Structure 1
Amino acid sequence: MTTAEEHEKYRQASSFGAAADAYERGRPPYPPEAVAWLVPEHARTVVDLGAGTGKLTRALPAPGRDVVAVEPSAGMREQFSRVLPDVRVLDGTGEAIPLPDASVDALVCAQAWHWVDPRRAVPEAARVLRSGGRLGLVWNLRDVSVPWVAELDRILRDCAAAPTEDRQVGRLGTPFGAIERQDFRWSHPMTAEEVMDMVASRSYVITLEPAARAELLGRVHALLDATRPRDMPYVTECYRAELGSR
């Protein structure tokens, strides 16, 4: 990755605080069956890394379980605390997790692992996990096999050069074991306004110049007027790997 590419990645990764309200309104939750697959039932300490406004965090509590959120954006942490005032949220990143060594049973990262530097984030995740602990990575992806969603995707790519995310899953490696994958198809009820918020909360939309952002949002609004969808179809893409013995 060139210096210019690294700068652009940082600019987009740090942009979410400016759109925390839209993120909370427009981003979907995660299906319970995906969460159950990612997080072992016996896990007593679970960390949500890159927690954002807590879309995944709110699905993690269980009897006897301590849930901790880690989020680098002050704006997102502020929104998180309004939504989930009883959950501890810490300032940190995938490369610097503010927790002790071997203190966590499961570490999950939703919609965020592609922002980390795996050379530093992989050993940092291994540091905080206990032996046999699990790292779970998850992304909610719009199902572009549905025609109107494919058209939405085309608009985003035309107007904002929506990137193809390198999920970096293949870079886990030692000390983690084999990577398992499972996909879950589902639909999330959404109003047109919530779809607009979902679009507006994308990093590559947040960082557009005002005129370009207005053009993009206008085209999305016209698409929604023409199609009047009642839900957004998703494919939730999940990965998990366990930490080997130290």
Structure 2
Amino acid sequence: MKVFKLLGLMALVPYLASAQEVQITNIQMKGPDMIISYNLIDERIDRSYSMHLYTSLDNFIQPVEKVSGDVGVDISVGANKTITWNIKEELADFSDGLKVEIKGQIYVPFIELDGVEKGMIVKRGKISDIRWTGGRGDNILNVDLYQGDKLVRGLGELPNTGNAMLKIPNNVPPGKNYRYKISDERNRDEVVFSPTFEVKRKFPLLIKMGSGIAIGVFGYYLVKSLIPVNEPDIAGPPDLPER
């Protein structure tokens, strides 16, 4: 596989006067993955960007999908960013050389999310109320549950009514670094991630174990009470006198 390095280009917003630039610093192959290292430069370090990877296979029209790392929405400004692209999973085969390009634009959330705070605890099977503002009134929102960059499961579709009741299924493993992904069904670029939170069991495991012990002890005594007790023999009626 022959790979050509190409400096990334950023789609700049015309009215911004500050300098913005993407610098691809290195490209290497590691097994089935292409690792692209880059710097995201902006004089305003408080900005974040939507960053996507494109290739020459379709003349840089559609972003590739099998990617992870510093790619997608809400990418902060800074150096030493990496994008990992699983080429084998996305492409069946290709014989020509490949060029890559990184494009980005300033990230502006299409909705403002409320009701989820960083580090909060969400219990499985319990309904949580989330609220938001913004978005078009007629759009449908998709809600997914992620742990880090890994999709755990879809939580369904919501009308843009400004609030929703969400429930984490009981079979979701407890853990940290969970977050909601809310996206517009019609526009794949309109995506918002909630702050990360922790998922816990509805009832602590210790309480469940304690209940099991109590039931087991009760069952033992119940069974024990039903077992006949060996009592001393009661004398029978006297023998009839002999004639």
TM interval, short-chain normalised: under 0.3
TM-score if structure 2 supplies the norm length?
A: 0.23
Which is strand-richer, 1 or 2?
2
Larger radius of gyration: 2
Which is helix-richer, 1 or 2?
1
Name the structure, 1 or 2, with higher relative contact order (CA <8 Å, separation 6+).
Answer: 1
TM-score if structure 1 supplies the norm length?
A: 0.23
